[in-house]
Structure 1
Amino acid sequence: MATIATTRAKPPKPLTADRFEQLLAAGAMILLAFVVVALAKGMPYWGKIPATVWAHLGTMIVALALTPVMLLRRRGDRPHRVLGTIWVAAMLLSALISFSVRNANHGNFSFIHILSAWVVIQVPFLWWSARTHRVAQHRGSVRGMVLGALLIAGFFTFPFNRMLGQFLFS
């Protein structure tokens, strides 16, 4: 009597963070710390902050807090997918809300809103690439989104004429 030996294929090794992703994660943690400190210093002015700005800050804080977790932890498992869905929703909501935040440019859109439009277009592709297991495309999209829409855009929230900059540097 012959038996058929079944062997299980080893699951692919999950992608781990490379040096660039470690730097992106560190940048997100640093930016989040600056946002928290700025908001704490601006506490006396919280009542004057419009609801749309609070909503935008809230979604960005969620995205910033999840970014290091997503970049540095194991990938491809259920927690990664759940946290990734939350991150994508936070990014998309933040971008959409930002179109109603026009306090710094005399009521007009600013160049940062170009990044918001890019996020609205790019996020569905990022999510789709993850759902269809296009790992390299997904990884590149995440890196671009973190660098451009979180870190670069976040950096430009701190010039002195903007709310967080005024809170932080006053």
Structure 2
Amino acid sequence: MTLDPLFDAPFAIQIHVAAVVPAALLGAYLLLRPKGTPRHRLLGKIWLCLMVITALSSFFIHQINLFYGFSPIHLLSVFVLFGCWGAIVNARRHNIAAHKRIVRGLYFGGIVGAGLFTFLPGRIMNKVAFGGDEIAPLVVVAVIAMALLWGVYREMRPRRRLS
């Protein structure tokens, strides 16, 4: 593992990574810890700020140039910005079910899902984590994707009721 590819990357990518890495760690912590506490509310605000910085910084990253410097990943950034706003609005309205759904979507779609693609061959994070190897990241991404799909399947299937 080497951070040299990040140090050589454009400033927008450095900002993006500097925001998304703590957002990934903090988001996992928030999802696992008790909700509604003063700590949860404070760390949640910090997490949302990190997510907004992550989304905004992505608009200055044009590595995949499909349409005037933009790519489908930039649509995700728009969804993240709207999702952050929705998370705030629903938390303030005490619509906890909607808040929870939005935040989980932001985390698993915006961080985990999009993050998996950054480890594909030819991407900067592939060079950081795997030294540019082409096979190892595909195996890691496939295993994580299967684990996520299994988790989604387990959440979506109907539960048996004990009488």
Question: What's the TM-score once normalised by structure 1's chain length?
Answer: 0.71
1:137 aligned partner: 98
1:48 aligned partner: 8
> RMSD of the alignment, in Å?
1.6
1:165 aligned partner: 126
Q: What is the aligned length?
A: 130
1:81 aligned partner: 41
Q: 1:102 to 1:130 in 2, by over 3 A?
A: same
% identical aligned pairs: 33
The correspondence of residues 1-170 of structure 1 with structure 2, limited to 5 A, is 41-105=1-65, 108-170=69-131
5+ residue gaps, structure 2, are: 132-163
Consecutive aligned runs of 4 or more in structure 1 exceeding 4 Å deviation:
none
Q: 1:47 to 1:67 in 2, by over 3 A?
A: closer
2:135 aligned partner: none
Q: What do residues 88-134 of structure 1 show as CA deviations (whole Å, max 9, x unaligned)?
A: 01001110110001124387212211111111112101111112211
5+ residue gaps, structure 1, are: 1-40
Structure showing greater radius of gyration is 1
Aligned residue type for 1:140:
R
User: Bigger relative contact order, structure 1 or 2, given CA contacts below 8 A and separation 6+?
Assistant: 1
Aligned residue type for 1:158:
F
Q: Distance in 2 between matches of 1:64 and 1:45?
A: 20
